């Protein structure tokens, strides 16, 4: 008895290779025709299309104007949800940059101490109080800071403290500039050696914030 004959079910793509390509092209074209809805610029900011269209797969970038910061996602994607093209999230907003009052400091104060809220780039300047003793307070650090961004101020507040370095003495040499009896913060002194000696170290030293000379007082050696 002869074995039963095998009948193959013809696969359309073998008989009609163009049919599969046409279906694929139709699928891609249907996706490419999907368009997400228009999103306007946020208040105090911009919505920038990466490719100039709202089609499936496109990106929308958001940026804020100076003085504002972004709350939400900076990039949205046009994606498919079922048969619809939708954005990947809610549009962000641009919030005004505001800073709390800057820190107060010991032995000093800052301008606009009566203000409760500071806006973008608003600045305050610190100053030191009169010292109770014979030596004045020195302002160590930046005297002015400003409201920089949503994280706060541009830097730490300065300190007000007495900074006083010892009288600098150099053997086999002499002081050429920065003469004084007392040497406070940032005081600079210059030296030179007597004839026949050469200097070891820097010829200029500065009184730094911890009341020491930086670099140390040089030496004059033969």
At residue 51, the pLDDT reads 87
pLDDT above 50 (res 9): no
Considering Cα of 70, then 73, then 75, then 81, what sign does the dihedral take?
A: negative
Fold designation for 164-221: Complement Module; domain 1 (2.10.70)
**4, two tokens:** 């039963």
Fold designation for 98-161: Complement Module; domain 1 (2.10.70)
Asked whether the domain spanning 164-221 has the same topology as the one spanning 32-96, the reply is yes
Band (33; pLDDT cuts 50, 70, 90): confident
pLDDT above 90 (res 111): yes
pLDDT tens-place string over residues 186-208: 999 999 999 999 999 999 999 99
pLDDT tens-place string over residues 80-99: 999 899 999 999 999 999 99
Domain ranges of the chain: 32-96, 98-161, 164-221
pLDDT above 50 (res 16): no
pLDDT above 80 (res 39): yes
At residue 76, the pLDDT reads 98
CB neighbour list of residue 16: distance below 8 Å, 6 or more residues apart? none
Is the model more confident about 149 or about 12? 149
The whole-model pTM stands at 0.75
Contact 184, 207 (CB under 8 A): yes
Whole-number percent of the chain with pLDDT over 70: 86
Domain 32-96, CATH number (from 3.10.129.10, 2.10.70.10, 3.40.190.10, 3.30.565.10): 2.10.70.10
Whole-number percent of the chain with pLDDT over 90: 82
Band (52; pLDDT cuts 50, 70, 90): confident
Band (69; pLDDT cuts 50, 70, 90): very high
At residue 26, the pLDDT reads 44
């Amino acid at each position: 008895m002869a074995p039963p004959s095998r009948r193959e079910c013809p696969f359309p793509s073998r008989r009609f290779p163009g049919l599969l390509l046409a279906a694929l092209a139709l699928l891609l074209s249907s996706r490419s025709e999907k368009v997400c809805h228009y999103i306007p610029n946020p208040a105090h900011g911009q919505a920038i299309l990466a490719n100039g269209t709202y089609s499936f797969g496109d990106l929308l970038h958001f940026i804020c104007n100076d003085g504002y910061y972004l709350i939400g996602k900076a990039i949205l994607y046009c994606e498919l949800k079922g048969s619809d093209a939708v954005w990947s999230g809610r549009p962000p907003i641009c919030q005004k940059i505001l800073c709390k009052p800057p820190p107060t400091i010991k032995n000093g104060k800052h301008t606009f101490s009566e203000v409760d809220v500071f806006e973008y780039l608003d600045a305050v300047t610190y100053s030191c109080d009169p010292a109770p003793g014979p030596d004045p307070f020195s302002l160590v650090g930046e005297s002015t800071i400003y409201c920089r961004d949503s994280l706060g101020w541009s830097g730490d507040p300065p300190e007000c403290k007495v900074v006083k370095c010892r009288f600098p003495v150099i053997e086999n040499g002499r002081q050429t500039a920065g003469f004084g009896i007392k040497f406070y913060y940032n005081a600079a002194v210059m030296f030179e050696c007597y004839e026949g000696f050469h200097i070891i170290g820097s010829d200029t030293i500065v009184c730094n914030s911890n009341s020491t000379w930086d670099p140390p007082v040089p030496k004059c050696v033969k």
